[in-house]
A and B are shown apart, each in its own frame.
Chain A
């Protein structure tokens, strides 16, 4: 069953049509990736799905409910959480306070302690630095915090926008391992990446976005073997 369906989405940036009628879906339990070059419209797509930027037309269906017009702050309550591009953790708050903000939408806080424990176990670095102001963390630690913060809301669908951006190769591998692991735990994942090779390797399915349009789709394996993807995104 499709968990997320995007139908004929169109988004304008001023007078420019950034996204032109794209449609795609994410099924329960999958890892789906949108790959594409800088400026292809990946982040615009992600942000318009959750209502962070307005859609011109089109429909977004989440678990059978039309969420096209739902304001951004209500989306997370439905079970869809996004780790935004550039991580955007709260620099002035501590690691612990950032994680609490992640749990902002949780109705009862009975599970707060055990949720924190789970996050600290998954990301031991965050446990070591829990009382440190988040702005002083390294890039890798900030990415871990952004993911941990998102997981605090118990998402059914986790959307990650460029999680590997600006990280060292070692950390990139680690981030993709964690994403795989989160998915194994039962969370559906929608991923946006410039690192096509690594992301296709862990994806069930993927879409290629070019100039605001989907130009190719298929399973992760199909796309990584496709001539066009190899030429444009995998360096030959």
Chain B
């Protein structure tokens, strides 16, 4: 019996290499878990029918000595990343029967490494939401408590890893969509530096914000996936050339953590979360980190900037779904009729809402709004870069509340505001940010803390993440 609970990529690789079990054994162990648990959790929208063919390829790589760390490792893949020949629907009815005609670059890379894709993970439709309740295919449940949400939009990804139905997963982030579900499901989630991982073949939500983001049970596993995928892709015009991925070093010793207490100290109402955060900070202090109070005055505009930039980009990106070249197509009166029928029936309410708001922002009456938002965004980025001259990390709780119950919309606007405030800056500035589990609440739900670092400083995040895993 393979001990999936304590399995890591390195342990699995070691066992596979030694022949303690085969790639087929490993994949099947996960498929057994899927059979046992996914009726209740619903992390997966589909288990692929070619898993056995994939494991044969992986096994051959071991036989020929061509294996990598990721050979034979079972992944779940968020339903917005294209795998050629497989259905990909972005959690939407408008792409319910859409077959990907090509592989996303990140998929190509994983295939070259011999990774195994078990199936596609559930998500909020077109990556809009924060609980996976907006999936057109029903919600995913939190493995810690089936009456609660796993977070979103990469809820299926996070839940599959937390429930040992995949060893690692690829999700995507536009505003916390991997860090928040990672927090809710007690796993590790990394949003890389913008431009680090290719977006080619990833269904776009907000081009200037989206990043493929790995999820795993340990920082080390996330690091391994990240390192495999972090490279320039000429098919992605926003992908940064390898030689330009230079971190701006400060003159410090790498052990200074800045906490922007002013942003959340008075508004964070959940005492358990505050307690857990404070004790996490203490633990880091005790192993030699210096904690400083920092001010980020422009960051309070993150939400305004995000809610102007994001809908504008979303409405633009979703205009390609018109029932003409692919996807749901419903007969209608002339060209306009086909567009309207297909889009109205194909998109869920959240997608429809954001398209309208985006077009509103981009309309003549508000001309200049998007441009002004970009100026403020730039100011937030510059402020962040300046802070990283003084500190090595910015640390906050990942989410200001514990996983909420399904159907319980968080009616507390301050809490929702704080949630976005913790998550949005890293997406707006493009800085890398990692969510790491930090304990369990008295209700048995996971806590999480988040470290953000300067552009291209993922190694620093892995270092502090691994240290924190030991001391938490």
Same complex: no
